[in-house]
Structures are given as C-alpha cells and as structure tokens.
A and B are shown apart, each in its own frame.
Chain A
Amino acid sequence: EVQLVESGGGLVQAGGSLRLSCAASGFTFSNYWMHWVRRAPGKGLVWVSRIKTDGSITTYADSVKGRFTISRDNAKDMLYLQMNSLRAEDTALYYCARDLGGRATQWGQGTLVTVSS
C-alpha cells in the first residue's frame, strides 16, 4: 500500500525555522517527482515546491523562493522541506504528494505549521 506520512510541523515564531519530513513507503520512491502543497486555514490549495526523481531539479513558488528548500534522500525514501524565515502567512497544513499532474498521484495526510507573529 502506498503511504506518505508527513511530520515535523508545529508552532514556531515568525522568523524561525522548521524542517518538514515525508516518509514514503509502498512504492519505488526514486522513480517519482515529489511535491509539497499547502492549505492555509479557510483557504484553498497552493502548490509550494517540487523535486525531480534524482534531486537534480527543484522548483518553488515565488512566495517561498529563497526561504524554503526541498530535498530528498532516495536511500531512505524521505522527502524534506526546510523552511526558514517563516512568516504568519506560511501558517498552513502542508501535504507531500507524489507525481502531481500524473496518473499515479498520491497525497499524505498533512502536517500543520503554525507561525505566530
């Protein structure tokens, strides 16, 4: 069974940092592009970042560029999102997702990040 389990969320002050993790299982992790998507309270879904299968290509939304870094460890089947210089507007439920836009899309259950100002 395909599983994506996010962790690392929590309460942090504005300007602080957090590192989100996403543990993948049930599929060959290294074969898939991976993504982070977030949903702020009462708002819709917003794509945050993506990383190629081997980590050689990363792309970011303008709102997080220069502050967030996506990475992966294919040996450990892990996806990460390092979030620095956090702002109140980064408060959201963060999902990791496999193969967004493809036929094999799967999402995790999300981890909540709350940034206090």
Chain B
Amino acid sequence: DIVMTQSPLSLPVTPGEPASISCRSSQSLLNSNGNTYLDWYLQRPGQSPQLLICLGSNRASGVPDRFSGSGSGTDFTLKISRVEAEDFGVYYCMQALQTPYTFGQGTKLEIK
C-alpha cells in the first residue's frame, strides 16, 4: 500500500496569514498517462470532505484561488495564500494512483 505522510499535523494560523501543508507519498504518484493522482480535501467539523485540488494542482470547481497545489512524484504542497475563517478544519491529501486509495493522517488548521 502507498503510505501518505502529512506535516505538520497541527497548524495554528492567524486569519489573513498564509499557510502551507506538506504531503509525502511512499512511491511516485505519476501515472503512465501523465497524470499525478494526488488530491487535497478539507473537512470542516460536521461536514463531509470537500475536494479542493485534484490531480496534484487543479483547483476543483468553486474553490477560491487562494488555494493552490504543487509538487510532483512523491512530494506535494497545499498552500493557502491568506487564510480565512471558513478555511479552518482538517486537511487531507489522498492518493488515487492505485487501490487501496490512501489518505494522509490529516492536518488540523486551527485559529492562532
């Protein structure tokens, strides 16, 4: 199974400041078709996960442009340019290159 490792696991941030979350996979997520199967999700308390970024760097429909995804191979980063109140919750990376799909442990973005 592909192991996904996120850091940090807790991230206190002041609203208006930037934030960055790292995700590392135990093997490359680059498929032979040229796509990189790495997604980012936000799960707010009491809600289902919301897709933010798919295929490594593509913002999902309706996601604000303050969110960006980057990286390749085994190292990926989610950046929020200026954190807003609605951004607080738990962020997960997930690999969809092969089954079983696997998630990182989650990074809790908290108000500082």
Q: B100 near A105 (CB under 8 angstroms)?
A: no
Contact indicator A46/B103 (Cβ below 8 Å): yes
A41 within 8 A of B: no
Beta-carbon contacts under 8 Å, B45-96 to A: 47-51, 54-55, 58, 60, 92, 94, 96
Cα(A95)–Cα(B41), bound, Å = 14
Q: Does A11 have its Cβ within 8 Å of any Cβ on chain B?
A: no
Size class of B's contact patch? 20 to 34
What CA separation (Å) do A100 and B49 show in the bound complex? 11
Give Cα distance in the complex from A110 to B47, angstroms: 9
Indicate which residue in B58, B92, B94, B102 contacts A103 across the interface (CB closer than 8 Å): B58
* B102 contacts across to A, CB distance below 8 A: 47
B interface footprint on A35-71 (CB within 8 Å = 1, 0 otherwise): 1000000001111001000000001011000000000
Q: Which of A35, A59, A105: most chain B CB closer than 10 A?
A: A105
In the complex, the answer to whether A59 meets B94 with C-beta atoms within 8 Å is no
B112 to chain A, nearest CB (A): 23
Interface size class of A (residues with CB under 8 A): 20 to 34
Whole-angstrom distance between the alpha carbons of A5 and B29 in the complex?
Answer: 31
Compute how far the CA of A39 lies from the CA of B92 in the bound complex, rounded to whole angstroms. 12
Q: How far is the CA of A45 from the CA of B6 in the complex (A)?
A: 13
Q: Complex: how many Å from CA A38 to CA B78? A: 23
Listed residue (B37, B100, B103) with the most chain A CB atoms within 10 angstroms of its CB: B100
Give A50 to B96 CA distance when docked, in angstroms. Answer: 12
Q: Are B106 and A44 in contact (CB under 8 A)?
A: yes
Does B99 touch A at the CB level, under 8 Å?
A: yes
With beta carbons under 8 angstroms apart, the residue of A62, A105, A109, A110 that contacts B39 is A105
Give A residues with C-beta under 8 Å from B: 35, 44-47, 50, 59, 61-62, 95, 100-103, 105-110
17 of the cross-chain contacts (CB-CB < 8 Å) are A44-B92, A44-B103, A45-B41, A45-B103, A47-B94, A47-B100, A47-B101, A47-B102, A95-B48, A100-B94, A101-B54, A101-B94, A101-B101, A102-B54, A105-B39, A105-B54, A107-B48
